């Protein structure tokens, strides 16, 4: 905390020094928890301002979906130079708006999958996973969960990105049988929360055995509270990934600066801030690897990810299928 404050004030002093020379401003649209004092925002801002002779201006909205909606409402008149915080389930919608420009970078990233998206670059990732407690039920697949009487809390795919990720996970793993899987899971699902934090809160209250979250979620409890009681359950069908990305706006008035930021995003200065503020894996693994608590985390054998176009094409029908199966 204090370190962040020191970095931020160092950044302030540096920017104050050059503010007279009409500093260019780089406007980054991102989600709320990225910019908050507990997120990566403050460290990223300080590190980039130290090398760009510019001012980084974060504009926050609730989540990736809200960011994209805001951009679309602004049309081509947005102040945004960079949009940071979509995941691959939403990038096809973003590309379809025509508001984004290609990044022109061939990135060298450490993801379980190859990265060839011409418009967006990844900055962090994790696997979706069901989190349970030590000694609690630990089904090894969606089918096993459906056959057990373990209770689970999930998020709504119509109002949250993890909820949408789970929908795509079941679709990617089961295809046409997804509807049946959901119907079988109906009696295990305690409730569907509007967002991640409500679901996580209910789980911590003991409202269910399992909750939908990330394979990296237990790292927070290990690193911050030295609490080793949470487990991400390995599922035999594999785990769907959330890859969080950033892209440059075609209408940016600082295209060179935006390009510079996207390159900076994949350097250690940005990447080292990610693990213990965003609790995700960095897109580029730092030299010394990750801290102590990260070694015990779940390492799925199979990583699932639909291409952005597939995810976009499937979304509406998958939501209907999910709703109908759970409304019986």
Which residues in this chain contact another protein in the complex, by CB under 8 A? 32-33, 36-39, 59-63, 65-66, 68-70, 72-74, 77, 79, 93, 151, 156, 158-159, 164, 186, 189-194, 196-198, 200-202, 204-208, 217, 220-221, 224, 277, 279, 315-316, 320, 322-323, 326-327
Q: Mention every residue, 6+ apart, whose C-beta is less than 8 A from residue 168.
A: 89, 240, 306, 311, 314, 318
Least Cβ distance, residue 56 to another protein (angstroms): 12
Q: Is 26 helix (H, G, I), strand (E, B) or coil?
A: strand
- Smaller CB distance to another protein: residue 177 or 320? 320
Q: How far apart are CA 11 and CA 112, in angstroms?
A: 34
Work out the end-to-end distance of the chain between its first and last CA atoms, rounded to an integer number of angstroms: 49
- Smaller CB distance to another protein: residue 238 or 252? 252
Strands 239-249 and 120-133: antiparallel
- Smaller CB distance to another protein: residue 149 or 287? 149
Q: Which of 238, 240, 216, 234 is nearest to 302 (CA)?
A: 238
Least Cβ distance, residue 230 to another protein (angstroms): 11
Least Cβ distance, residue 212 to another protein (angstroms): 14
- Smaller CB distance to another protein: residue 183 or 298? 183
DSSP 150-184: --EEEE-TTT-HHHHHHHHHHHHHHGGGHHHHHHH
Structure tokens at 13: 């002093």
Q: Which of 201, 169, 209, 194 is nearest to 303 (CA)?
A: 169
- Smaller CB distance to another protein: residue 158 or 268? 158
Least Cβ distance, residue 232 to another protein (angstroms): 14
Q: How open is the CA angle 49-125-182, to the nearest 5 degrees?
A: 145
Least Cβ distance, residue 198 to another protein (angstroms): 5
- Smaller CB distance to another protein: residue 272 or 312? 312
Least Cβ distance, residue 231 to another protein (angstroms): 16
Least Cβ distance, residue 105 to another protein (angstroms): 28
List Cα–Cα distances, 295 to 20, 116, 275, 291, in angstroms.
Answer: 47, 28, 13, 8
Least Cβ distance, residue 79 to another protein (angstroms): 8
What 8-state DSSP symbol labels residue 14?
Answer: H
- Smaller CB distance to another protein: residue 94 or 284? 94
Structure tokens at 11: 């950044």
Q: How far apart are CA 91 and CA 74, in angstroms?
A: 18
- Smaller CB distance to another protein: residue 24 or 201? 201
């Amino acid at each position: 905390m204090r370190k962040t404050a020191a970095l931020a004030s160092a950044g302030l002093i540096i920017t104050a020094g050059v503010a007279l020379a009409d500093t260019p401003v780089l406007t980054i649209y991102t989600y709320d928890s990225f910019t908050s004092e507990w997120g990566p925002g403050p460290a990223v801002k300080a590190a980039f301002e130290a090398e760009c002779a510019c001012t980084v201006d974060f504009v926050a909205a609730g989540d990736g979906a809200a960011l994209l909606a805001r951009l679309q409402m602004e049309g081509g008149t947005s102040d945004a130079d960079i949009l940071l915080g979509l995941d691959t389930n939403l990038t096809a919608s973003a590309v379809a708006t025509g508001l984004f420009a290609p990044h022109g970078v061939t990135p060298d990233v450490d993801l379980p999958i190859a990265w060839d998206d011409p418009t967006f670059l990844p900055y962090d990732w994790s696997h979706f996973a069901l989190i349970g407690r030590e000694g609690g039920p630990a089904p090894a697949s969606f089918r096993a969960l459906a056959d057990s009487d373990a209770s689970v809390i999930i998020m709504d795919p119509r109002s949250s990105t993890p909820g949408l990720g789970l929908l795509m996970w079941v679709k990617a793993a089961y295809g046409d049988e997804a509807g049946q899987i959901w119907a079988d899971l109906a009696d295990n699902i305690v409730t569907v929360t509007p967002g991640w934090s409500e679901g996580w809160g209910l789980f911590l209250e003991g409202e269910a055995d399992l909750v939908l979250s990330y394979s990296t979620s237990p790292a927070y409890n290990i690193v911050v509270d030295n609490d080793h009681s949470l487990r991400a359950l390995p599922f035999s069908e594999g785990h769907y990934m959330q890859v969080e990305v950033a892209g440059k706006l075609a209408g940016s008035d600082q295209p060179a600066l935006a390009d510079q930021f996207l390159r900076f995003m994949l350097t250690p200065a940005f990447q080292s801030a990610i693990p213990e503020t965003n609790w995700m894996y960095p897109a580029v693994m730092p030299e010394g690897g990750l801290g102590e608590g990260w070694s015990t985390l779940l390492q799925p054998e199979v990583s699932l990810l639909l291409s952005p176009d597939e995810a976009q094409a499937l979304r509406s029908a998958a939501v209907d299928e999910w709703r109908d199966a759970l409304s019986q």
